[in-house]
């Protein structure tokens, strides 16, 4: 996932509030432009407003909330500029991750990727998008680990979070896109496990390019979710 999940024993109130709101926003249960109140969220968790304020700040850093002095906090609308920037950063970073992963992938790593593809296939067969989304993050995290660039996953996941809501809308509108994403992952895994660096990079860039049509389609059908 995009968040650095902690064990239950170590999770703070801020973590609990953050995780709850993150899931509500990314799953589109809280729509772009929706107003949320510190007081209401504090009441929901029976806590003071400070941990809620801290959770809001973390969500603002992820570009998921818009916090303005003396005005209601609201769920951030989509920004074409922010989406373009996130896509550029991901493309540059993931290309290098895939190149290194393909060069360093051994039999143990290959088995790990193969197991993840099996899990993803099961999620697709069950039309389990929330489950697939979690497996998607695990897949990209594994690629970073194989590439010995664990640190890169923080940046990748942060930029994924900025556009995941669009993916939720896109997959809700066209379930066949879930099959396409799985096919992309299968191709990426095949290139990495066969130590084909250029093939892995090419497959990864095709995978990222899927977002372009999704953005355009949602912008046409839900213009109210965008701030331009």
CATH number of 80-225: 1.20.120.530
| Distance in angstroms (rounded) separating the CA atoms of residues 42 and 38 | 6
| Distance in angstroms (rounded) separating the CA atoms of residues 215 and 53 | 31
Q: Tell me the CATH class for 12-75.
A: mainly alpha
| Distance in angstroms (rounded) separating the CA atoms of residues 226 and 215 | 10
Q: Which residues pair with 74 in a beta bridge?
A: 35, 66
* pLDDT tens per residue, range 153-170: 999 988 887 777 877 776
The conformational region for residue 127 under phi > 0 = left, psi -120 to 50 = alpha, else beta, is left
- Are 181 and 210 in contact by the 8 Å Cβ rule? The answer is yes
- 3-state SS of 195-223 is CCHHHHHHHHHHHHHHHHHHHHHHHHHCH
| Distance in angstroms (rounded) separating the CA atoms of residues 167 and 1 | 14
Question: How far is CA 96 from each of CA 62, 152, 174, 193, rounded to the nearest angstrom?
Answer: 23, 10, 31, 16
Q: Token digits for 48? A: 């003071």
Sequence spans of domains, the chain: 12-75, 80-225
Tell me the pTM: 0.80
Range 110-133 average pLDDT? 93
What SS3 state is found at 12?
Answer: coil
Q: Which of 8-12, 42-46, 187-191 has the lowest mean pLDDT?
A: 8-12
- Between 123 and 70, the more confident residue is 123
The pLDDT of residue 114 is 98
The pLDDT of residue 1 is 42
């Amino acid at each position: 996932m995009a968040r650095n999940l902690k064990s239950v024993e170590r999770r703070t109130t801020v973590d609990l509030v953050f995780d709850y709101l993150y899931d509500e926003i990314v799953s589109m249960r809280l729509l772009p432009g929706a107003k949320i109140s510190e007081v209401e969220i504090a009441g929901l968790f029976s806590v003071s407003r400070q941990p809620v304020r801290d959770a809001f700040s973390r969500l603002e850093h992820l570009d998921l909330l818009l916090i303005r002095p003396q005005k209601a906090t609201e769920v951030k609308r989509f920004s074409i500029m922010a989406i373009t920037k996130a896509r550029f950063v991901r493309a540059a970073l993931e290309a290098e991750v895939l190149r290194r992963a393909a060069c360093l992938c051994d039999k143990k790593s290959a088995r790990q990727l193969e197991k993840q593809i099996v899990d993803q296939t099961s999620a697709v067969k069950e039309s389990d998008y929330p489950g697939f989304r979690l497996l998607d993050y695990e897949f990209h995290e594994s690629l970073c680990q194989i590439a010995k660039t664990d640190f890169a996953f923080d940046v990748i996941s942060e930029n994924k979070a900025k556009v995941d809501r669009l993916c939720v809308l896109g997959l809700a509108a066209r379930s066949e896109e879930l099959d396409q994403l799985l096919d992309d992952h299968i191709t990426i895994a095949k290139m990495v496990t066969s130590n084909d660096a250029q093939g892995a990079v090419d497959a990864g860039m095709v995978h990222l390019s899927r977002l372009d049509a999704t953005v355009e389609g949602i912008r046409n059908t839900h213009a109210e979710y965008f701030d331009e």
